Amino acid sequence: MLGSEVTKTHCPYCALQCGMEIGPELAISPRTDIPANGSGALCQKGWTAGELLTSGERLTAPLLYGEPVAWDAALDHVAHRLSAIRAEYGPDAVAVFGGGGLTNEKAYSLGKFARVALGTSQIDYNGRFCMSSAAAASIRAFGLDRGMPFPITDLAGADVVLLAGGNVAETMPPFVRHLDGPRLIVVDPRRTPTAKLAWLHLQPTPGTDLALALGLLHLAIADGLVDEAYVAARTTGFEEVRTSLSSWWPERVERITGVPVHQMRQAVRALAAAGKAYVLTGRGAEQHAKGTDTVTAFINLALALGLPGTLGSGYGCVTGQGNGQGGREHGQKADQLPGYRKIDDPAAREHLARVWGIPAEDIPGPGRSAYELLDALGTPEGPRALLLFGSNPVVSAPAAEHVASRIGGLDLLVACDFVLSETAALADVVFPVTQWAEEDGTMTNLEGRVLLRRRAYPPPAGVRSDLDVIAGLAERLGHRFETEPVRVFDELRRASQGGPADYSGITYERIANETGVFWPCPAPGHPGTPRPFLDRFAHPDGRARFVPVEHRPPAEVTDEDYPVHLTTGRVLAHYQSGAQTRRIAPLVRAAPEPYVELHPDLAEQLGIAAGDVVRVSSRRGESKAVARISDAIRRDTVFMPFHWEGANRLTNPALDPVSRMPEFKVCAVRVERDS
């Protein structure tokens, strides 16, 4: 009986998707059969995840303009309003915004719902704000984005790991156990808990990681460290990159980044001397208006040293959100169809048309990317209605006050959530939905391993799955959608068949029996693909691509009015916009309030003491937070965690031209003691 026995499942939070068991009385313990946390570790978010299920703030009835109503009444109202808005303004007047924490089944259903039931091109998701730059760079270099294209346990066998812009000791602590063996090189403007573990910490000025990566590769070439045999056999384009690097001599890079030449040389020599080595990137390198080029520069370095696609070495992206990998594969992105197919690929459209039973020409084309979609809401050219699933953009989007004002201009906002998040609180209609241990579903972790979350408890009375919301609305719009997760997954398998992310050989039974299955897995008897690039990369000629890229300054540089860099990130106790973790008592005790971290020299210059309330202003807004003084941050930079409303009022929505990633990681601010 549900709730009375132990169920094997996975954590509701980050992309490590630690295995856990949940039993009677919400007792949680780590599993040892899931490699990500096979040593039996969970972080404090995982240990306390049971409290999410019993939160006193759970919604248990749909809200219609703030009043509880019956499910049918809420679904009828939304369907009626959607039909009216579509009739008056056309199908693109309705937008859908998804999330990287949704199960694969929900991500798939949402994409199908947008294209088939609503006929809109206007769908994107918050994963665009997460690892889209690394995804774009991996596709450019390797022809395929599979996050970390190797099992996480491979890392422990390496001699050296370079981690650019990732703070795994706080964001996913069990990851650190995989870094016990190698020498760790960390690139980060802050001396984070991860940087403190490093053999070598390179501390560049925010917004200069790209220059640093160019400098590292320049040194590798100048010092004769390039793996010429690998480059000749497995890549193309090296000569163009070699030529493009001629002016990136180390002293110039030191002037731009602040990283001493001897440290750069130490890093490159350690990587090149290692028999086995990895280059990893996280949000610090990726969340920039040049994020795709920054990751490309680190991939170029890894390729020159002969790492990707070899046993025990490689390049990988440390994806952040729980289903950040699966969330980008099944069709909730503006430019994609299920199976990680391109939406403008005629063959992909024909395939999905057959699965969905509609003419290919009825599938809309690409829509707006996440920030562009939010920025268009309520404008004369933009959507008039927004359906929001698993996302809280009023806290998590850049220029968040502007986004809130755009949302305020909508004719209809519908939110699916299990609590009243800051964005759900603005909605005309809120549907109360199930969460992790109350429903079955698959998640694809940062390794590309497809995992099964099992239903362990019944949801509270009055609560239904997002799949029920989608199917309920689709039915009222004249379409039949599956609601059972396993049936949705079977359809997803067919939809993905033949695509880059082929799940057609994966079943719930296999996942349970094999502790996860790596995609691509194109047939029932196929073993899955833990290391997809060992024999060849995914470009038609099987070779990886070097791509020349150039450094440029951040979209916003410091000046007299805004003289300090702001960078943002996460803390151990909280996850993403904090909508979940800010409701867990032990996590709130551990990290109760927003703060701004300043160097002692900057604090003295500004007359700020630890504990003072500080006002931080940028060209987009203002935010108050408590001052923390620390020499772990550069003198020219302040840090704010983004789990509370505030940090993203300041951040810059300048977009990467390829990935459409906003520049979360650097903008210019003024810092003052609040009088």
Strands 200-202 and 183-187 come out as parallel
Q: Which of 9, 16, 285, 639 binds ligand SF4 (CB under 6 A)?
A: 16
* CB 539, min distance to ligand SF4, A: 33
Stretch that binds ligand SF4, among 42-50, 176-184, 513-521, 632-640 (CB under 6 A): 42-50
Task: Say how far apart CA 455 and CA 28 lie, in whole Å.
Answer: 14
Q: Is residue 503 a contact point for ligand SF4 (CB under 6 A)?
A: no
Q: Is residue 144 a contact point for ligand SF4 (CB under 6 A)?
A: no
> If binding means CB under 6 A, how many residues of this protein chain bind ligand SF4?
14
Q: Is residue 172 a contact point for ligand SF4 (CB under 6 A)?
A: yes
Nearer to ligand SF4, 40 or 611 (CB): 40
* CB 171, min distance to ligand SF4, A: 7
Task: Say how far apart CA 597 and CA 629 lie, in whole Å.
Answer: 6
Chain-centre distance of CA 320, in angstroms?
Answer: 5
Nearer to ligand SF4, 126 or 369 (CB): 126
* CB 437, min distance to ligand SF4, A: 13
Phi-psi sector, 367: left (phi>0), alpha (psi -120 to 50), beta: beta
Q: Is residue 18 a contact point for ligand SF4 (CB under 6 A)?
A: yes
Task: Say how far apart CA 512 and CA 442 lie, in whole Å.
Answer: 11
* CB 516, min distance to ligand SF4, A: 14
> Does residue 420 sit in helix, strand or coil?
coil
Q: Is residue 174 a contact point for ligand SF4 (CB under 6 A)?
A: yes
> Does residue 449 sit in helix, strand or coil?
strand
Distances (CA, A) of 599 to 203, 606, 627, 638, 639: 14, 11, 10, 8, 10
* CB 637, min distance to ligand SF4, A: 26
Nearer to ligand SF4, 166 or 173 (CB): 173
Amino acid identity at 390: G
Q: Which of 34, 42, 271, 277 binds ligand SF4 (CB under 6 A)?
A: 42
Stretch that binds ligand SF4, among 16-24, 53-61, 230-238, 529-537 (CB under 6 A): 16-24
Q: Return all residues near 531 (Cβ < 8 A) that are at least 6 apart.
A: 149, 150, 151, 154, 309, 311
Q: Where are the alpha helices (DSSP H) in 450-533?
A: 466-476, 485-496, 508-514
Stretch that binds ligand SF4, among 6-14, 489-497, 549-557, 641-649 (CB under 6 A): 6-14
Which residue sits closest to ligand SF4, CB atoms considered? 46
Write the binding mask 46 to 85 for ligand SF4: x where contact by CB under 6 A, - elsewhere: x---------------------------------------
* CB 43, min distance to ligand SF4, A: 3
- For residues 49 and 493, the answer to whether their CB atoms sit within 8 Å is no
Structure tokens at 475: 């039915």
Can you give the three-state secondary structure of 54-114, one letter per residue? CCCCCCCCCEECCEECCHHHHHHHHHHHHHHHHHHHCHHHEEEEECCCCCHHHHHHHHHHH
Q: Is residue 13 a contact point for ligand SF4 (CB under 6 A)?
A: yes
Q: Which of 31, 45, 276, 453 binds ligand SF4 (CB under 6 A)?
A: 45
Q: Which of 22, 28, 34, 43 binds ligand SF4 (CB under 6 A)?
A: 43
Q: Identify which of 314, 325, 322 has the alpha carbon closest to the alpha carbon of residue 153.
A: 314
Task: Say how far apart CA 385 and CA 77 lie, in whole Å.
Answer: 13
Task: Say how far apart CA 316 and CA 308 lie, in whole Å.
Answer: 9
Q: Return all residues near 204 (Cβ < 8 A) that are at least 6 apart.
A: 187, 189, 211, 212, 257, 258, 259
Q: Which of 38, 143, 173, 382 binds ligand SF4 (CB under 6 A)?
A: 173
- For residues 378 and 384, the answer to whether their CB atoms sit within 8 Å is yes
Nearer to ligand SF4, 37 or 369 (CB): 37
Distances (CA, A) of 492 to 340, 348, 355, 511, 588: 11, 14, 9, 15, 38
Q: Identify which of 162, 203, 212, 207 has the alpha carbon closest to the alpha carbon of residue 184.
A: 162
* CB 11, min distance to ligand SF4, A: 3
* CB 175, min distance to ligand SF4, A: 7
Nearer to ligand SF4, 37 or 465 (CB): 37
Nearer to ligand SF4, 13 or 503 (CB): 13
Task: Say how far apart CA 455 and CA 435 lie, in whole Å.
Answer: 9
Nearer to ligand SF4, 444 or 623 (CB): 444
Q: Is residue 141 a contact point for ligand SF4 (CB under 6 A)?
A: no
Task: Say how far apart CA 461 and CA 59 lie, in whole Å.
Answer: 10
Nearer to ligand SF4, 575 or 644 (CB): 575
Stretch that binds ligand SF4, among 8-16, 336-344, 435-443, 551-559 (CB under 6 A): 8-16
Nearer to ligand SF4, 451 or 473 (CB): 451
* CB 14, min distance to ligand SF4, A: 3
Nearer to ligand SF4, 42 or 272 (CB): 42
Interface residue list for ligand SF4 (CB under 6 A):
11, 13-14, 16-18, 37, 42-43, 45-46, 172-174
